[in-house]
Amino acid sequence: MTLRRRIIRILLILLLLPPILAGVAGWLVAPGFLHPIRRELTPDLIREADASFAHSGGHREDFDVRATDGILLRGWIVRPDHPNGNWVLLFHGVADNRIGVIGQSEFLLRAGYSVVMMDARAHGASEGQLATYGWLERNDTKSIIDALLTQLRRRRTDIQVQLGPIPPELLGNFPEQSPHPPPPPTPHIFVLGESMGAGIALQSAAADPRIEGVVAEASFATLREASYDYAGLRRSPFLGKTLFAPFSWMLLYRGEKLTGLPVAEVSP
């Protein structure tokens, strides 16, 4: 074999080997991408959360919600000492749980906002095996808001039943007024998320008009763009879009085959 042929062979290997290895890596990584490591909600983490709530004047209660596909989502409702009547849903990042947004809950509780802190599906104490980075989670948010508003209406009804109607003699010179107090206004609902949670927050707001405002911290643009970033070793998306692009292609392709969902269309 001539020296020239050897050089050509070496160059071809150097040119083709990285994309091939990247494609194999994307195929192997896809299941882990969809099945993130669970951060368990341990007693120590719960004590840490309770200490935080005590410091910021919050009072928590368990809040479980059944998603439309039957998955049980677990979390907390936390009310401040002096609620302003409005709510913020908090969304944590990938491979984390509700404790990951405990810092955000502190300044919100001090400002009078009540918060909902849920473990995303396939995270923490919630059920589910697949994380879809917003595709299914946006519908989970709808179920959470439905359950929250149902609970608030039930609490108002219970309070009105306990108080009873206003006695006629207390109406004074305004007999035309109803003996029942007017219902409180519908609360404003906002969402705040970081990383994966930011992507879920944005997609949830697009799917549910009851969400009036979003704070999204470090969201990914699209899942395809995020896969390019990972393919480029989180240093150069350009590498992920060129030499290591097969990683992204195989990751999304196998992800769609494993889930039956259009994973590549996930787009905050």
Angle, CA of 121, 91 and 133, to the nearest 5°: 50
182: pLDDT strictly greater than 80: no
Backbone angles phi, psi at 67, to 5 degrees: -70, 165
Per-residue pLDDT averaged across 99-127, rounded? 97
Q: What is the pLDDT of residues 37-96, one digit of tens each?
A: 999 999 999 999 999 999 999 999 999 999 999 999 999 999 999 999 999 999 999 999
pLDDT at 266: 92
pLDDT at 122: 96
Helix (H) or strand (E) holding 209: none
- Closest of 194, 191, 206, 193 to residue 266, by C-alpha: 206
Q: Compute the distance between CA of residue 214 and CA of residue 252 in angstroms, rounded to an integer.
A: 27
